[in-house]
Each structure stands twice: as structure tokens, then as C-alpha cells.
Structure 1
Amino acid sequence: MSQEVSEPDSGKEKQDFFEQIVVTGTASGTAVRKVDSSYATTSLNADMIKKLAPKSTADLFKAIPGVWAESSGGVGGANVFVRGFPGSGDAPFLTVQLQGVPIYHPPTLSFLENSTLFRVDETISFMDGLRGGPNSVVSNGQPGLTTNFILKEGGEATEGLIKYTTSDYDLQRLDAVLSGAIAEDLYYMVGGYVQQSSGIRDAGFNSEKGQQFTINITKELDNGKLNFYTRVTDDHGAWYLPTPLVEGVDNNYAQIGTLNRQASIQYGPNGTTQAFDFGDGRGWDGSISGGSINLELGNGWTFVDRFSYTSGDADTFGLVPNLSPVALSTVADNGSSAFGAVTGTEYSGDTLVQQVGRWVVLKEIEAFTNDLALTKKSDKYQATIGLYATDYSAEDWWSIGNQSYHVIQSGGENLTGIACNDSADSCDFNYDINSVGDGKTTALYAAFEYQLTEQLRADIGIRNEDHEVEYTVDEGLDGVITKAVQYDESDTAWTVGLNYQFQRDMGVFFRASEGSKMPFFDDFRDNFDAYTGGDDLIKDVTQYEVGFKLARSNFNLYTTGFFTEVKGDTFVRRPGAPVEKLTNEAYGVEIDGAYFNDSGFSVSVNATIQETEITESATNEGNEAMRQPGWQVRVTPSYDFELSGLEANVYGTLIAVDDRYSSNENNVVLEGYEQVNLGMFVRTESGLKFEFAVNNLTDEDALTEGDPRNPQAPNGRFIMPRNATFSVSYEFY
């Protein structure tokens, strides 16, 4: 958890602008000032989140130094990297928490990373992003990035907001939130949204739509607080994939459209045929419910228990490119033309076509997590012992492959008159599975912090984790179990930190930690031979950090130098392909700073400079880690002013990103780019507020990735094109 003592906004006191407290990263949840903390964390309050205007949850993570987030896939299915940790996609070193509890214990499963399960709306008070440091010991023990979202709470006064948003891509969205008192010391907050649009890349139909509802109940006690919440979401959007990099294709190109959203695929040993709507894309239809008990027991003792239950479906439907574009004449049965399967249009031989896989992934997940901690605090020390326990499951049904030639144009239709399109056999492989997995993780952790002198503080944390997985896979959908796993391994993680405060508002810290990423269901499926050969499949992570912290009344600066080493990482390009096992090292600097003056001007900067190297690999030793830039920077100026008696603000963000490599082979370069975002809001004394934002003002057409399955193929995924939103809201209190 984390909260801010004060936050920057027009009409509010600003002398405590940088006086922040954080509890994300502490074993007990005990609050500390950010400038006193001995680890790297970034806090974003509700106003900051609005100015970032994120199009997805992963889009918000771009504001965290040390993080490279590829949110170009739509509302779900992002790729998130942190501090040079290796990864081929999804977010293997990301944990998303709600109210201080992981929403799903595995950071990533195939076709599912944590941000897909979470939507940002007006019910969020703020978010913390903790990199490295104590992550190895607290929460689910995942050593990379932990993002923690905190809900708004009710108070004595009845407050509320209603907001309507539209856009240049036909967005229709209504948000609302209401909070207040139910009875003495009993408070509520309810809110949510309903929305639909044809998508930033126009699909011709409502390719993005959904709704979310959240309720948060808080009971203040004489010696603590109780909290209970539930968040129900049904929201999905088109899955944007790499597109062919040919003339006529730009950042507005959408594979999905009216002519191809419905299609039938064949799967299983008997060639069963079934129709699906691929316009459903990726999304989350489920709920996250939980709460916490926080009690002061007296004599310096506190008890905290936080719990969460997650259940629902996270399905994926997509049109996935395969290989390079070709002229229709090279694949047509008659060598000259073919016909549209929907319109009957005859396409000439020089028409560019491409194999497109109709991929279906049905995924049902469930998890119950509980994290309790008992803490003793005195003037000199703080000691915590805790127990983290989670049970989780995933049931998967896949049919991926199902290749068929489509016309290369937005929403391009499937064709007849091509043998592999019209026959029972697809143009390429199919990989069909039915799998069931159950996991259980239990961890005992302890932390001790001691004030050695008035200025010097030391802390140590340790975690012992037992990790169990039961998993079976039917490859081929023929009822035959081809892979079965019964896994039970333990691992120990630790962290040690020193913090020295030169002054109340300035200090330095050093931290060393060792942790691990335990294997989950897909790790066993993709590395089954290694598992049966005795490999424990645990990825070992070592990190060293040194930081400088300065927080003054009108500016702050947090810089963190880091070194990371990840041993035992594996990469599989596609099912059945060779497995690359590697060790990856990275070092760099994160910069997080801001400045404010009394004239209303402020500017924030976050930047990352890093070097990565694959230090052990049979084929790619000495190369850089794929898809991660050597440097990136975001500069966000903002100016508050009065406009005819109204409060107003104009702001912008300049984003600059270095070149990256598309794969570990380092043979395809993704060029760096610059992006400009602008926004403005005007607020009346009555609570009426108008907001306007433009993202990618110059319509930059940069790429976030190449073709992850065929790196040499001329395919790539563009960043989102220029888009504008306008909203009007009314806030009352």
C-alpha cells in the first residue's frame, strides 16, 4: 500500500508537495516517508494518472523508471520488462496488487499477464511501482516490479463524480464514483464505468467494450480498521498484432474487421469445426474480491491480515500473422486470382496476401491469497514475521495455428481458390491443447529493521517458500495426456539494506538481494524435457542497488543505480521449437525527479539508462537482451493558471526511446522514436471540469516489436496512432 500526504493540484496547498509516505515494500505495511525508504518506488496519484491518459493498465507503467512497457497490443496482452530482466513477451517479472495483495500469484502464463486482469478507472486513489529491493521477500516474492493499486475510501462527507468521455475513435464512456458514510465509523465507496468504441485502430464495429463495478467498505475501529471490497469486470478489446511492413500499411492498420471477425476453425484428431468471433480479442470477465484487517494490539504490536479471491475467464481471440507477405499469384490454385470468402470479390494476382492464424485460447483462472503479518515496533527497531499462502489454478483450451491466406488490408477477408484455405488441412501447424493446472505456494518471511544511529538504519529480510504444482496437458485434444507434472520445490530469498540520512530531506541507500522466479504451468509445458531430466526450472535473480534521495519543498530527485543477474531463464519461440537457456546481466541508472514553482509551472522527469548482456547462451552469448532500449526518457511539463476566473492547466509529455533489438540474435533493429502527448483541463468553482488530451500528436509510426515467432519476417507492431479524447465531469462534495 501507499498513500500521499498531499498531492499537486490547482487550488491545493503545495508546500508539502513532496512529503510522501509509502508502505509498498515493507513486510508489515507500516508507513515510511518515501525519502526515508531504502528502495526504489514511484507513486502516482489520481491526478497524475489522469494526465497520463493511459489507454490500458500497462500504458500507465511507462511512467515508472526502469520499466519498458509495450502497450501496443490493446487493452489486454501487454509486454512489460523491468531493469533488463530477460523476457520474450508478456510480463514474467510483474506483479499487480490491489489493496496490497497480488490479484493472481503467477506473474505470467501464456496469453495472460497480470495487467490484463485489471482496469484503471475513477475508483483508484493512487498506484505505487516498486522495483527490485524487498520484492524478493514480500508479497508473492517475485523480484522484478510490483505495482500496487489502492482504492478510494469513503469519509464523513458525501462525495461523488460523474464523467462522460468521447473521442475521435467513437469512444462512448461513462464513469461514476460515490462515497460517504453508512453509519458512525462505517464508510463506503462505489463506482465504475461502462464503455464501448470501435478502437483506436478502427475495426468498423465495437471492438472494445465492457463495464466494471467496484464497492469498497471501510470500518474504523478503536484499535484499527477493517476493509472489504469487490471489483467485477467484463471488458475486452481487439488484440493488435504485428502487421506486414509493406506499402499501404501504417499505424492505423487493424487486422480485425467486419469481413473476418467470424471464422470457423478445425481442431482435434477428427477435425471438429467450430465458429468463433475473433472480434472479442483479449479481455477479462471476472471478479477480484478481498479485504484486510489491521489491528493495534498494544505495547508496539500490530496485526495485519490481507486477503484476495480472484475468479473468471481471460480468453484470447486473435488473427496472428505468419511468415512474409506474398503475391496472390504465387499461392492461388489457378496461378492468377482468388475470391473473397465473404464478398465474392475477385482479387488479381498482384494482390498482397499473408497467412493469418485464427488463434483461440480459452483460459479460466482462480486464486485465493492470504498474507498475514505480526509486527513489534519500538523506538530502535521493528520486527515482523509473516505467512503468505496462495492456491491458484488455470484451465486452458487452445487451438493455435489455423493458418489461412487473407488479403493485406485493414479487416482483409479470407480467400477461396487457395488449396490450403479450402482443404481440411491448414497451411501450417496447429497446436491444440487442453490442460489443467493447480498450484500452491506457502512462504514464511521475516524482516528486522534497526536504527543504528540517528542517521543510519539497517534492515534485513528473509523468505522461505514452498512451491507445488500439479499439471497435466492433453496435446492434440484426443484425450491422451502427453505431459504430467508433480512438482514440489523450496527456495530461500533474502534482502539486506542500509539507509543513511544526511538530513531529514536527503539520504542514500544500498541494497543487495537474492530471489527467484518459480516455474508455473507453461514453464513445464515448454521445458518438459528439462524438467523430466531433473532441472528445477527456478530462475535465480541477484540484484544490487545504490540510491540517492532528495526531497525539498519545490523539487525532488530520486536516482537509483542497479545491477541485475538472472540465471536459468529460458526462451521458446513457438511450441516444439528448440529451448534457449541463458543468463542475463544488466546494469544502469533510474532517474525520477520533479520541480514545482509558485507561478504554477512544474515539470517531472523519469529516465532509464541501461546496458544488457546475455552472458551465457549456446547461440547468443555476448548479445543484448531482446526488446529493451538502452535508454528512455519522459519529460512532463505542466502549467496551472486562471482563465476568466476558472482554474486551468495545460500539460504535455515528450517521450524519447533508444533503438532495440527484436530478438536475442540481435539481427533485427527496432529504431528509436519520439512521441509527444498534450492535454488541458478547465475547472469551474461549481465542480464542472472539461478535459482534452491528444496522444501521439505527430502520429509517429514507430514499432514496439517485430515478429516474435519469425524474427526475419517483415512484420512489426506499431505504437498507437494519434488519438484524441474529450471528457466533461461534475464533482460534488
Structure 2
Amino acid sequence: MPADNADDKDTTADPRQPHRDVVVTAVARGRDRLDTAVSTSQLLASDIDKIAPRSVAEIFRNIPGIRSESSGGEGNANLSIRGLPMATGGGKYLQLQEDGLPVVEYGDLVFGNADVFLRGDFNLAAVASIRGGSASTFASNSPGGVINLISKTGEQEGGAVQLLTGLDYGEHRLDMDYGGRLGPDWRFHVGGFLRQGEGPRRVGYDGNRGGQIKLNLTREFAGGYVRLYGKTLNDRAISYMPNPVRVTGSDADPHYHSLPGFDIAHDALASRYALRNVTLDGANRRSVHDLRDGMHPVVNAVGLEAQATLAGWTVIDRFRFTSITGRFIANFPATIAGAGDIATALAGPGATLRYATGAQAGQPVSDPRRLGGGNGLLAENIVFDAKLNSFGNVFNDLRGSRVDAIGRGELTTTVGFYRSRQRVATDWLWTANLLEVRGRGQAALIDLYDAQGVAETQDGFYGYGASFFGDCCRRRHRVDYRTNAPFGSLNYRLGRVSIGASVRYDTGDAAGLIYGADLGGDRVGLTARDMNGDGTIARAERRVAVLPLGSPAPVFYRWHYLSYSTGINWRVAEPFAMFARYSRGARTNSDRLLFGPGLDVATGALTNSRAAVDRVEQVEGGLKYRHDATRLDLTGFWARTGEQNGQITTPGSFIDRIYRAHGIEAEGALTQGVLSLTAGATFTDSRIAVDQINPGYVGHVPRRQARFIFQTTPELTLGTIALGANVVGTTSSFAQDENKLRMPGFTTVNAFVDWQLNRRVQLSLSSNNAFDTLGFTESENGSIPPGGIVRARSVNGRTTSLALRLLL
């Protein structure tokens, strides 16, 4: 992704090799950060080791400007940047890449957020980011920015083997990698991991288990190289959905407390006694799925990357084919209330409860007020069961760049063409059950009986569909998204001043079929089916959701939009530069558009052409300073963002808005002898400027948008021992757009100690959230409900690990 306003000095033979002061993402060649009119950051592998991340989202939260809600587990994180909205899941305006190509084309695919298919391990050389407007012209669907995970490619001979174990949580993990030269012109790298364990929370079974292997082989030649690479990921990771927490006080001054029998930071609504999901599959056949699958990506990728010099042009082509299948299955509480209240509401006065699973299966719940270890709560639970038939994709990015002397300056010209195909083929197979609110992986499914003793549930299932979501969302998607994008840039450098502009023209189409009773017409939503094979139809078996396979709706619509960016950079002096930039980009809406009002289900066309594309306009300007061991970047920004979206956790809720945000972002580093310090902070003022559906929200702060976020990592090196802490914090934010319930600000401390026992052996102790701080990233409730139970996502409590690493 070539960037304008950059010195074209070729700093390395391979332009993607990480160096803290060289921009390698969104450029054709390595460039000095002070010669680029963009905001960039780079975390090297050594930086990542120190912050004790338990997921890639915990790496991303150390990038200034990035809002990374790392509370969903190993994947399914919500990501945003510089005040751009986070109205639904994933990272809508931010693209995640591996080695310069997207992981998936759209960062907010339902049940397919990009980080679900990413894992950090010893293959990782660096995480590089471009923030702000220029990203919109150098990658499709990324107007807010790009985060690129850069792999090692064997430049350095050697590798490592590490054994890690959790001291206060379930984690046993083996990491390894090795790379080097196979001859004067060949080099390679291979690495991966295997792990198994309960995970950061107590769920009663091995929630995280699987592994990954990546490899690449590079052939160098004069003026370039050819690289073949591959990746296999088969990993299961539990997804942490919103969990119950008691909230007292007022919306403006709330106080959050764990419940008896359920610790909000260490427990989850998952249990060894609730592992089976009985449902109908995508062909309406009875099927049983295992909740231990969690987020289960099965990814197989192969790619080719080549660079050559042709007639003065540096030409780079990147190609990757990826097969992505698997499953996403997790419990989502639609309602949490007193067990007696739910029993009466669903089965009438005199209703009774019995344990359906667990050690007391078949026994009556004698006192519903003591259910769940004393909290007396029951969850009307939706099992989010999604079969990932394919999120497979094909990407190719071809670009060429050259430098010509014109007058007293240099003109850098870049042209390129990007092409992609992204498939979305999923089956949504949701069910509804009753689950007690109990921690430590011991929650049982609960059966419900009316006053006459007739069962309202079956084995804990209230319905074999999304009964507590109005029987919605039994869906099947079979849609392909194709994108074509020519792009180019011109940059003229005269002395210390560079002026440049870039442009990109995206065209594409979506084509396929979707199935679901939500589409209306004569499509059937519920039927009666003998789900347990006993020859009778129980009440729960009258609530069986089916797919109307004979009545699909077509999907066929096109889009096109122009993105452009222009900026100026002034290298005032060797250690100091200033820049300014204006950009206009966009993001194509994908599967979140399909079951909403924007699609005509009779023709497959859009009811409103505006629905296909959400546009983002940005202005930024800043200062950059670097001298010896001191570095400081300071950037001011302004953004105007359009959004149309749908929310799966609130069926039937849609968004049609314009947001405005402005703020300032700072990043710096300092090294003095044995002490080093890196830090970043972002201040943001964001507002809803226009709301077509809820005009009363105009002027409100968007949900979960804090005014101030920060991160800092002080480190002290004393001979063979290095110790320090990674501190990440946020001020308070509103849970929802109505701006009532506040989520308090919080700060987590991730401490580390590394002891170099000898030249080849290192012992590391790290503690994520060392002080066991309670912090909330989202809430399904916009205000405190009458019972005081809020469904919220919290960051994980303290997890401490010990690792022994052997350098090879």
C-alpha cells in the first residue's frame, strides 16, 4: 500500500521488515516516519512480549488512537479508532491485515470478526498501524486505519521454544519458531503454537484448545524476491458474552458488584453441565452441537508475494487464497431475572422448576430464591450457534512505484490494482434455554413446569429457536462480495517539503441468496418436530425454528465510490517534522445489511442506494519529533462518519446516522540508561450529529466512547533482569446511545519480570490485570433495570503465567 508524502529511500531489500522508525505498512518501500504525512505506530515482537497479552485485541489496545474492547476472549473484540463509531461488533472502519493483505474483507462480519481468525505467536515480528485518512486510499473498506501483523521471514538465524503455564488460570501452551538461510539466496521461517486449558475464566471445561502453524520460503534475487507462505489455524476459544452484574446507585453514579455465586471478572455463562445444543441444521435436519467449540476457526491459507524492479519501477504483487470454515457458539442472556419471576411469566402462577442437568438433575428447585448459589437468578438464554460454512476469500494486490527527478525535486508515482472476493456462507441455528446464573462452570439447565405439572421445557430447552428474541433469526446466508479497486498516488518532494495526493476507486457487487422467516411473505418460521425422538410432541417441540429452504430471497446490488487523500509534510529539521492531511473514504456495508430495511427481498436490490456505502471524511495534522532515545508524535484530528447498521443482539434495531468527532492523539518514548518508557494517549469528543431513526439522540455521545484513553509501559533493566508494567486505562463512557447508564473508567496493570538465566535461557513471569481490577467495556442495558441486574462485558480478572524460553 504505497503512501504519498514519503521519501522513497529503499531502506531494506524486503519492504515489510519491521523497524521502529521505518513505516512498512501502507507503503511500497520502507520509509522514515518523519518523512510521511500519516500517523503510524509499530510494536515490535519484544514490545509485545512485555505487555502480557492474552489475545490480539490486548495487543491492539497499546496502539494510540485504537479503542480495543478486549473482553470477548481470544476473538470477537470490538475495535474502533479516533472517535469513529462502534455501534455494533467487530471493527467496521478498521482493517486487520496479515502481511499486507486483509484477514477478511470486512472487519465486522457477523460471527466472523477479523480477530477470530488471528492468533499472536512467535511468528509475529511486529504489529504496524496506519491511522487516519490516507488508509482509505491504500486499502478497501478501511477509512479509519489499518493494523498489519507482520510475520518473520528468516532474516535472523535462529528461533525459540517456550513452555508457558497459567499459575492461577487454565493455560498450558507450547510456542516455537525457527528461521534462517538455506543458502546464499534462500531463507525460511516456520513457527506456531499448541495450547490447551480452561482459559482466563472458570467455565468447567477446556475452553481454549488448538494451535497454529505458519511458514514461508523466500528466494532473493537482484532487485527483489519471491516468497511463498502458508498458514493453518485450527483453534477453539471460548467467547465471553455479556454476563450478569448487580448495579446499585443511579445511572449517573452506578456501582457495579459481582453476584453471590458468580464473579463477573472470573466467571462466565458457560458450564460443563450445558454443553449440548440440540437444533435443526441448515438443511432442517436434527443436529447436536458442542458448546465447547466456542469460536472454532479452521483456516487454511496459501499466498505468494513477489517484488521486482522493472524498467525503473518497483513492482510488488501479493496474492492469497484462504479457506475459512468452523463454528461460533456461545450463550447470550436475553433476560436475567429472579427465577420465580421468570417461571411465572413463562408458565403462569404455580409454576415450578427442576434441575435438567448437573449433579441434581431431575430434582426440584426447592427455593428459587437460593438458585445459583444464592443469587436466585435465572437466564432466558439464547445459544448463538452459527455454522461457518465459509468465510473464504481471495485477495490480490498489485502495485508499482518509481521515482523520477523533476526540476530540483523528486516525483514518486505509484499505481496499483486491488481485487478481492469474500464469501459469506453461514447458518444461524439459535436455540433458547433456561440457565441458572452460577459460576465456576457449574451452572445447570433448568426445566420449567406449569401448575398442573406439564413441562414447558425439554431438557432445559424452552424452544428450538430464538424464543426469547421473538423467534427471529433462523437464517442462512450464501452471498459473495466482489471488489475491484484501481488506485494511485503522486508525491513531489522538494528539499524538506513533500506534497502529495492519492486516489482510489472502488467498485463491487454482492450476489447470492438468503433464507429466513425474517424476510416475511409466506416464509414459515416455526413448526412442530419431535426433537428427542420419544414419539410425542412436547410444548418446547412446538417451538422449533425451520429455514424456509424453498423461499430464498435474492441478493444483488452494486456499489462504487471514490476515495481521495491529500497532504503535506515538512521536515523542519533532522529530528522534527510537521504534517497536515485531508481525506475522504468509505466502507461498503456487507452482511449486516441483508435482513434490514435497506434490502428489497423481492428483487435483491437496495431500497436506498445510500445504504451500500458509509462515508468517512477526516482532517488531521500533527508534529513528529525524534532525537536519540526520545520520540514524540502529536496529532489533532476531526472526522465526520456516516453509518447504517443492524444489531443482532437487539433484533429489529437499526441505525442510520452521522457522527462527528475531534480530538488529539499523543505517542512517545524515552530511554535513559536502565529506564525506558513508552506511552500513548487519545482525547476524543464525539457526538451523534444526525439520526434518521431516533432524532432524540442527536447531540448524544456515542455508546462506549470514552473521552480519554491511555497506555504506558515503564521498564527497568538491571543486568540480567528486566521488570516493568503495561498500564492501560480509560475514563467513563455511556453504555448506550440514550446516554443514561455510565460505565466507570478503569485502569489495568499488566506486570512482567524477565530473567535471563544465561545466553539461551529466559524465565518470565507476567500478570495480566495484576490488581484484579473490575472494568466494563459494554452493557446491553442502557439504564439500570428495576431488578438491578445489568448484562455487561467486563475485562478478565487477574491471570498470571510463568514461561520458560530456550533460544535456538
Q: Scaled by the length of structure 1, what TM-score is found? A: 0.93
Aligned to 2:63: 64
Aligned-pair RMSD on alpha carbons? Answer: 2.4
Alpha-carbon offset, residue 659 of structure 1: 0.8
Residue 503 (structure 2) aligns with: 462
Query: Does the 8 Å CA contact 2:727/2:750 hold for their aligned counterparts?
Result: yes
Q: Distance in 2 between matches of 1:146 and 1:622?
A: 29
Matches of 1:30 and 1:521 in 2, distance apart? Answer: 35
Identity percentage of aligned residues: 22
Q: Distance in 1 between matches of 2:464 and 2:223?
A: 68
What corresponds to 1:636 in structure 2? 713
1:238 partner amino acid: I
What is the identity, as a one-letter code, of the residue corresponding to 2:669?
A: A
Q: Is the 8 A contact 1:19 1:33 kept in 2?
A: no
Partner of 1:716: 792
The Cα shift of 1:133 comes to 2.7
Among candidates 324, 335, 339, match of residue 350 of structure 2: 335
Tell me the equivalent position of 1:134: 134
8 Å CA contact retained: 1:526, 1:575: no
Alpha carbons of 1:99 and 1:86: their partners in 2 closer, same or farther (altered >3 Å)? same
Shift of 1:279: 1.7
Residue 371 of structure 1 aligns with an amino acid whose one-letter code is D
After TM superposition, the structure 1 = structure 2 runs for residues 531-550 of structure 1, keeping only pairs within 5 Å, are 532-537=606-611, 538-550=613-625
- 1:174 partnered with 2:192: no
Displacement after TM superposition at 1:595 (Å): 0.5
Q: Distance in 2 between matches of 1:472 and 1:655?
A: 44
Change (3 A) 1:267 1:386: closer
Equivalence for 1:704: 777
Q: CA 1:570 to 1:133, structure 2 compared with 1: closer, same or farther past 3 Å?
A: same
Alignment match, 2:15:
none
Taking structure 2 as the reference length, the TM-score comes to 0.84
In structure 2, the residue matched to 1:14 is: none
1:520, distance to aligned residue in structure 2 (A): 1.4
SS at match of 1:304: strand
Unaligned segments of structure 2, at least 5 residues: 3-8, 13-17, 247-258, 372-376, 450-454, 518-546
State the alpha-carbon separation in 2 of the partners of residues 516 and 263 from structure 1. Answer: 39
Matched, 1:374 2:393: no
CA contact (8 A) 1:539 1:567 kept: yes
Secondary structure in 2 matching 1:108? coil
Q: Which stretch shifts more, 531-540 or 496-505? A: 531-540
1:127–1:147 Cα contact (<8 Å) kept: yes
Deviation at 1:232, TM superposition (A): 0.5
62 and 420 in structure 1: CA distance in 2 versus 1, 3 angstrom threshold: farther
**What is aligned with 2:543?**
none
1:622 to 699, 710, 715: 699
Residue pair 1:104, 1:310 contacting (<8 A) in 2 also: no
The alpha-carbon deviation at position 522 of structure 1 amounts to: 2.5
Counterpart residue type for residue 457 of structure 2: N
Q: Is the 8 A contact 1:323 1:710 kept in 2?
A: no
Structure 1 pair 478/571, CA: closer, same or farther in 2 (3 Å)? closer
Aligned to 2:479: 437
- Residue 137 of structure 1: SS of its match in structure 2? helix
Counterpart for residue 346 of structure 1:
364
Equivalent residue in structure 1 for 2:679, among 599, 602, 605: 605
Matched, 1:277 2:353: no
The unaligned stretches of length 5 or more in structure 1 are: 7-16
Kept in 2, the 8 Å contact 1:18–1:552? The answer is: no
Judged with a 3 Å threshold, the aligned counterparts in structure 2 of structure 1 residues 588 and 572 are, in CA distance, closer, same or farther, namely same
Structure 1 window deviating more from structure 2 (323-332 vs 107-116): it is 323-332
Give 1:575 deviation, angstroms: 6.8
| 1:193-213: CA deviation from partner (whole Å, max 9, x where unpaired) | 100111110212111011111
For the Cα contact (< 8 Å) 1:75–1:236, is it kept in 2? no
Q: Distance in 1 between matches of 2:456 and 2:330?
A: 20
**Equivalent-residue separation in structure 1 for 2:378 and 2:551 (angstroms):** 37
Paired residue type of 1:651:
G
Q: Can you list the C-alpha shifts for 1:265-300, whole angstroms capped at 9, x where unaligned?
A: 357897x543211121113111232121111225x3
Q: CA deviation at 1:236?
A: 1.7
Cα distance change, pair 653–85 in 1 and its aligned pair in 2 (3 A): same
Higher mean alpha-carbon deviation, 422-431 vs 30-39, is at 422-431
Q: Read off the aligned partner of 2:416 and give its amino acid letter.
A: G
Q: Which residue identity is paired with 2:383?
A: R
Amino acid at match of 1:39: V
The question of whether the paired residues in 2 share the 8 Å contact of 1:18 and 1:555 is answered with no
Matched, 1:385 2:415: yes
The alignment status of 1:553 with 2:655, answered yes or no, reads: no
Q: Distance in 2 between matches of 1:629 and 1:320?
A: 25
Rounded Cα–Cα distance in structure 1 between residues aligned with 2:550 and 2:73: 36
AA at the equivalent of 1:614:
I
| 1:64-213 paired onto structure 2 within 5 Å | 64-88=63-87, 89-155=89-155, 158-167=157-166, 168-213=168-213
The answer on whether the counterparts of 2:203 and 2:267 sit within 8 Å (CA) in structure 1 is no
Deviates further, 125-134 or 330-339: 330-339
Q: 3-state DSSP class of the match of 2:712? A: strand
Deviates more, 1:371-380 or 1:414-423: 414-423
1:362 aligns with 2:432: no
Q: Deviations over 1:640-682 (max 9, x none)?
A: 111xxxx210010222211111111112211111211110101
The equivalences for 1:223-262 within 5 A come to: 223-246=223-246, 247-248=259-260, 249-250=262-263, 251-262=265-276
1:527 to partner: Cα distance: 3.8
Equivalent pairs, count: 710
Instruction: Tell me the distance in 2 between the aligned counterparts of 1:314 and 1:478.
Output: 23
> For the residues of structure 1 that align with 2:512 and 2:457, how far apart are their CA atoms?
35
2:768 match: 695
Q: Equivalent residue for 2:452?
A: none
Could you say which residue in structure 2 is the equivalent of 1:511? 581
What amino acid is the match of 1:494?
Answer: Y
For the 8 Å contact 1:151–1:216, the answer to whether it is kept is: no
Structure 1 residues 638 and 472 mapped into 2: Cα distance closer, same or farther (>3 Å)?
A: same
CA apart distance, 1:57: 1.2
Which residue pairs with 1:526 in the alignment?
A: 596
Check whether the contact 2:330–2:384 (CA below 8 A) recurs between aligned residues: yes
**Contact 1:650/1:681, CA 8 A, preserved across alignment:** yes
CA shift for structure 1 position 571: 4.3
2:747 counterpart (666, 674, 684): 674
Amino acid at match of 1:490: H
Preserved CA contact (<8 Å) 2:133 2:583? yes
Higher mean Cα deviation, 572-581 or 629-638? 572-581
Which residue identity does 2:308 align to in structure 1?
A: L
Give yes or no for contact 1:209–1:237 (8 Å, CA) kept in 2: yes
Letter of the 1:728 partner, please give it: L
Return the match for 1:585 from 660, 665, 668.
660
Distance verdict in 2 for CA 1:631–1:199, change over 3 Å: same
1:18–1:551 CA contact under 8 A, matched in 2: no
Q: Which amino acid aligns with 1:421?
A: T
> How far 1:19 sits from its partner (Å)?
6.2
